[in-house]
Amino acid sequence: MLKKDKVKFIINKLDEFYPEVSPPLNNSNNFTLLIAVLLSANSTDKSVNKVTPKLFKIADSPKKMLNFTYEDLYQTIKPCGLGPAKASNILKLSKILLENHNGNVPPNFDDLEKLPGVGHKTASVVMSQAFGYPAFAVDTHVHRCMYRWGLSSGKNVVQTEKDAKRLFPKDRWSKLHLQIIFYGREYCPAKNFNPNNCPITSVVGRRSLFK
């Protein structure tokens, strides 16, 4: 199957399974979105969504976040994992947002990726969901599915993002990012994966998976 045919099949199948998608992380503004995405690194959306209601009730802005002591913030976000680093980064970036951006989340990749704890994937999610910028954030689910579907080499997430942007229509990037995440969790998991039970991989997947 040619890649263009794979892409068409994948888009149609994802639209069939997930015609409407909503961001999985609870948030109420651009700042809380940024913090929620930062907390989701090496964690699950479920774990983050258990922590953030309490956190954002107290601190839904950089100024309010800085009322936390490091220890109190660490204890609040501890269930998300990597608590020491995340607490430190959240306090540092909150101070930077206040001092350099009038307390606002900057609407560009350069400034976002300069913030402590904010990598390209986190910046891509924020640019997409907060500012409507076409971005294709690549997490472990997207990376895994793109490889299994024969659309990327699987060498690294940088290459996977380039391949995704080259193959899929730009106006679909933000939605496809979420659709592939949901699909990967439900049909194309990392563990105990049987390609024959995957509605997409069974049709377009790499032959090596079936050996």
110 is catalytic: no
Compute the distance between CA of residue 122 and CA of residue 135 in angstroms, rounded to an integer: 11
Out of 6, 86, 121, 175, the active site residue is: 121
171 is catalytic: no
**Is 83:77 a contact under the CB 8 Å cutoff?**
yes
**Is 91:68 a contact under the CB 8 Å cutoff?**
yes
Compute the distance between CA of residue 197 and CA of residue 33 in angstroms, rounded to an integer: 34
Out of 86, 139, 163, 175, the active site residue is: 139
Q: Computed from CA positions of residues 175, 176, 180, 186, in that sequence, does the dihedral angle turn out positive or negative?
A: positive
**CA distance to 9, 120, 185, 208, 211, per residue, from 195 (Å):** 16, 30, 14, 11, 11
Tokens at 154, concatenated: 């699987």
Tokens at 28, concatenated: 């109420």
Compute the distance between CA of residue 141 and CA of residue 78 in angstroms, rounded to an integer: 24
Compute the distance between CA of residue 93 and CA of residue 201 in angstroms, rounded to an integer: 40
Instruction: Give the active site residues.
Output: 121, 139
